[in-house]
A = this chain, B = another copy of it.
Amino acid sequence: VSVRAGDPRAIGVFDSGVGGLTVLSELHRRLPNESTVYLGDNARAPYGPRDADEVRRFTLEGVDWLLRQDPKLLVLACNTATSQALDAVRAASPVPVLGVVRPGAVAAAASTRVGRVGVIATAGTVRSGAYPAAIDEAQSSIVVSQQACPDLVPLVEAGQTDDDAARAAVAGYLGELLLADPGIDTLLLGCTHYPVLRPLIEEIVGRSVAVVDSAFTTALAAEDLLDALTARRVDLRPPTRRIASTGDLGRFSAVARLLADGPLPPVEAAELASD
């Protein structure tokens, strides 16, 4: 694994769909001089319901496309891809690879006072047990309660982040989580779509529960990694920002606009191996 000092190459960001754009936004905010190239495998999203072998194969195909763009660092900005394929991607990649699970888990472990953390995520991520395992690895003896929130991704992708339906869904899920463990003092957003719901979630959960979002923490981890390797881009010319997608580009752009931090560049079409 080799990275150059002041490496001008882009950070490659992979997601099964649009959720990873919240991670991309945080990367842009923290590392404004870095070039980025984002790939969303929207033709085959969501990965959640797929079995582990398929997730691994699709993720490796996406990573293969990103590696052909010559990045200096890969970020798996997808909880499903991270929990099922991070090890395989790391084994296949000549550049360093970060996932979204560990940074969120470490921050949640640092945040909790009482040793009780709640995680909300998709059904697939909850089932994978990736967050309880990662939190336990960061600091054992923390009790983790999970709540699957299947309706939240469709709501976010429909642009409903603050209406009555969103409010009812978030309140319902958080109610169930707090019923399972009324003592949690930290809530980890274990899905890259959820940061756009953060104001609503914070309002409902109240000030006694700290909210940790893995988009924010993953961008911090990317910054740490580039600094440890002295690999921040030092070029004075403006960085490039590319976004690519498989499948229907028009539909992707419409939804992507809801999660991105600003105007999107023209979306490129990507074709993956078995797509």
Contact = CB atoms under 8 A, between A and B. Distances in A.
Nearest to A228: B96
A5 interface: yes
A224 B221 CA distance: 9
Contacts of A231: 1
Interface stretch (A102-110, A157-165, A238-246, A254-262): A102-110
A90 to B, nearest CB: 5
A249 B203 CA distance: 58
Interface string A2-30: 11110000000000000000000000000
Q: Which of A4, A207, A221, A224 has the most CB of B within 10 A?
A: A224
Nearest to A217: B110
A91 B5 CA distance: 8
A247 to B, nearest CB: 30
A138 B113 CA distance: 20
A111 to B, nearest CB: 5
A269 interface: no
B5 A228 contact: no
A110 B220 CA distance: 11
Contacts of A66: none
A213 to B, nearest CB: 11
A215 to B, nearest CB: 14
Contact of A1 (B2, B102, B210, B217): B2
Nearest first, the 10 closest Cβ-Cβ pairs linking A and B are A107-B110, A110-B110, A2-B2, A96-B228, A1-B229, A90-B230, A110-B111, A96-B229, A113-B210, A1-B3
